[in-house]
Structures are given as structure tokens and as C-alpha cells.
Amino acid sequence: MIQLERLRPDHAPALLAFERANRAYFAASIPDRGDGYFARFDERHAALLAEQADGLIAFHVLVDGSGAVLGRVNLVDIADGAAELGYRIAERAAGRGLATTAVREVCALAADGYGLAELRAVTTLDNAGSRSVLTRNGFVPTGELVVDGRAGLSYARKLVPGGGGPVG
């Protein structure tokens, strides 16, 4: 069974394994985290958990029955009732609808658990899978931009507590 869990200290080993195993896969569609991310992972993980405790971010992992991380869905820059959404799914789990389901769950959490009214997201034009996840979850394009030298789109979604579904 795959579950969405709020990031905890004990997720660190599985999260690091997930990031290492999928580094090249992720770098094909989003900017690489760089060697420093891996070299200082434990330090960074602790800092992110502190930010999460302060309500500045909300990180979530998708874990399978063995505790392996299959994906993550993050809310960053939480302020004034809004946040930026980011997500990534392991290569071995891609194409199974996990991103769509996890983003849907985090949208509900953002509205009902975190009291947010809007989420924003960004993806490149060549990342059809990510664009599809966003539109399936009620995000609408709000403008063009450049992401790591590549053409991209910004998206937004209004949230309604208890609404679950997208709002126009």
C-alpha cells in the first residue's frame, strides 16, 4: 500500500536513497540538485524539518509498504495563504497515476490542514507529464516563463476548504 506521509526525521535514509537512485532521471526534466545536496543531505534534512515546524514549508513523501520513498510532494514559500507546489516521482513508479493522486491529496491538505487559499506551480513545456498532473488537479496556466534555460509555464489553483475538487 502506498501512503502520503508528512516528512519526518526517520524518512531521511529512504529519501536520500530515492534522490540518489533518481538523480539522472530527474535531471532530464528539472534542474539537478548538485553534489552539495547529497554531500550535506543530513544537515539539509534537519534544516527543512525545522522550517516545516515553523510553518514555512510542508514536505510530504509517498512511501510503499516497505518504507521506500516513491515520490515527494512539497509546498514551499508558504505565506499569505499561498504556496508553491513541487513534486517528483521515482522513475520506477512513473506512469501509474501516483503524481496525480498525491497532488490531489496535498491540495486537500493545503486547504483543509494548512489553511491555504492558493497553490502555484511551474513546469517546462517539454514536461508533458507534469503539465498533465497539474491540469488534472485543476491548475490553470497563468503565464510563460523560462525554467533553467527552457520554456515553461506557471500555473495556479484556488483552494476551497472542504471542497476537494478544483475551483474555477
Give the pLDDT confidence of 89-143 residue by residue, as tens digits: 999 999 999 999 999 999 999 999 999 999 999 999 988 999 999 999 999 999 9
User: Beta-carbon neighbour count of residue 73 at 10 Å?
Assistant: 27
Contact 68, 14 (CB under 8 A): yes
Q: Is the pTM of this model over 0.85?
A: yes
Dihedral angle over CA of 156, 161, 162, 166, nearest 10: -20
Dihedral angle over CA of 144, 147, 151, 153, nearest 10: -30
Arch. (CATH architecture) of 3-158: 3-Layer(aba) Sandwich (3.40)
Quote the pLDDT of residue 85. Answer: 98
**pLDDT tens for each residue of 141-163:** 999 999 888 899 999 999 998 86
Q: Is the Cα dihedral 106, 129, 77, 21 positive or negative?
A: positive
Break the chain into its structural domains and give their ranges: 3-158
> What three-state secondary structure class fits 167?
coil
* pLDDT-derived band at 13, boundaries 50, 70, 90: very high
Alpha carbon distance 135, 155 (integer Å): 9
- What b/e string do you get for 82-109 counting C-beta neighbours within 10 Å, with b at 16 or more? bbbbbbbbbeebbeeebbbbbbbbbbbb
> What three-state secondary structure class fits 148?
coil
